[in-house]
Structure 1
Amino acid sequence: MTEGQAKPQLASGRLVRVVGDWCPPFSGYHLYYPSRRQASPAFSLLVDALRYRGKV
């Protein structure tokens, strides 16, 4: 579970962070593009999904 998903429960006290020292901040997804000129349709869908999710 990501912190974003758990944030409401953490704020309300329903969840308690127990290993905070072991949870480094998440800076986002890192994606390496293939060296081919045209990406496969599946790869293009993945990139679009990650871009959409990042705007939320």
Structure 2
Amino acid sequence: MGADIQYAWKDNMHCHGVVKVEWVHWYNHRRLLSSIGYLPPAEAEADFSQQQSGQTMAA
């Protein structure tokens, strides 16, 4: 296998990794879910955590 082919293969795998990371970030932080009021999952989780910590302090 030539050096050019090895480099191209590794570069291609890096690009796929970057695309996967970008998709996971979108999936967790940007997509809107109708079942939770059209909020991104990360925002809904942050809101829930804040509510839970407020209830713990009130108890």
TM-score, normalised on structure 1?
0.30
Q: Which has the higher helix share?
A: 2
Greater gyration radius: 2
TM-score, normalised on structure 2?
0.29
